[in-house]
Amino acid sequence: MGRRFGTDGIRGPVGSAVTVQLALALGRAVGHRLGGAGRSVVLGRDTRRSGEMLGAALAAGLTSTGTDAVDLGLVTTPCLVHASTDERHAAGIMVSASHNPAEDNGLKVVVRGRKADDATEDELERLIDDSSAIENQPNGALGRLGTDVDAVDAYRRHLRDVAGEAFAGLRLGIDCANGSASVIAPDLFRSAGADVTVLFDTPNGTNINDGCGSTHPERLAEAVSAAGLELGLAFDGDADRLIAVDERGELVDGDAVMGICALERLAAGTLRNNLLVATVMSNGGLERAVTQAGGRMIRTPVGDRHVFEAMERDDAVLGGEQSGHIIFRDRSTTGDGLLTGIELVRAMRAAGSPLSELAAQIGRLPQVVINSTVRRRDDWQQDSDFVAAIERATQQMGDRGRVLVRASGTEPKIRIMVEGDDAGEIERIARELATLAEARLN
């Protein structure tokens, strides 16, 4: 079969792409490859109903190899990643499909706070397909299943320390997406001194990301505007992303959040090498704002792994994606929606300005993004008619804009982005390409 690991671990519908058998096999593979006697792997999950089943299977697989499984229970992905940096743990596995619907779930392997590299994922793939090299341990050599509440408390303390006094008296709305943020965010921000209005914090196993969270922040925007709050923070299901809402109820996406934080750090002299790392999907207006303020921006392929690798290579401390997956490398090794919200509020306090004024400093070129559902997402470059249409559109735009097409790493979709000065032109080009993609790639 094809490679299971995508850009963000293994992800797909539960019962077909993601099964209890797969979780058991992955647990055994991770235990054999990374664990063993005297070693432990930390586990976490979001609020999907399937998370308990998959977590139990992972624990069974790990302990069968003699590896201890340490279950943190319901936590955010950044909390799991933070816990995995503890030298007592050989690795971590997060059970989550992030912003996907409840019917999906995923399995993400992290090692010392970093996503497993390609070589490790390839070895895990081989062990899943052929487990003959993995020995079953006798009773006395089996791993044990335990918990570690201190790991979750340590993560909370880390965020609380970063927040400092920035939230004192702040009137804040948060949307927990009926996901992992529900168990951490409300108490965290209240303990930091904010007056918090909470939406979508009653997960039932099937309502994660359902009309809420960072992919559907409309209700939060209405609540912020109606209640006269100073801003809103919308997280996705596992709280590694953030979309903000200003005091007028207007959305502030990941590009604007990165820009606000980059400009504040440039002014404070804390944007290392004056560098922001963003992906090819980030709006040209972000690059223009950072450059005009004396900074510079480099672009990477889509995916937080590419962003983080570039940040390490060029020694940058800030980078991320338009979707709101933002990394503060001097604070964390992964995108963290709660941390990003804290850094955004710190930037607001430093500037002494409302969020709407700060967001207005990050200009935005007209940009259209269409996600076309296709069966052959990975074969689009082999379709000569579709490739030719992209080339014609690129030539037509010239230096007035750009065209970007890529396959989603997590969904059966082709993502088509067109950016330029003429909103009508880019809308037409994007829709023509999307229509052709759906005709040619299904």
Catalytic residues: 98
Residue length of the chain: 442
Q: Using CA atoms, how far apart are residues 284 and 124, in angstroms rounded to an integer? A: 39
The closest alpha carbon to 1, from 128, 115, 159, 154, belongs to 128
State whether residue 358 is helix, strand or coil: helix
Half-sphere exposure of 281 (CA within 13 A, CB side): 27
Cα(296)–Cα(271) distance, integer angstroms: 10
Other beta carbons within 10 Å of 262 = 26
How far is residue 110's CA from residue 58's CA, in Å, rounded to a whole number?
14
Using the Cα atoms of residue 195, residue 199, residue 204 and residue 207 in order, give the sign of their dihedral.
negative
Q: Strand runs (DSSP E) across 144-204, as ranges?
A: 145-147, 171-175, 195-199
Q: Is 38 exposed, middle or buried (0-12, 13-18, 19+ CB in 10 A)?
A: exposed
User: Hey, what amino acid is at 262?
Assistant: A
212 and 200 Cβ atoms separated by less than 8 Å: yes
Query: Strands (DSSP E) along 9-117, which ranges?
Result: 10-13, 40-45, 68-74, 89-95, 104-111, 114-115
H-type alpha helices, 192-336: 218-227, 254-268, 284-292, 304-314
- How many CB atoms are closer than 10 A to CB 90? 22
Other beta carbons within 10 angstroms of residue 387's beta carbon come to: 14
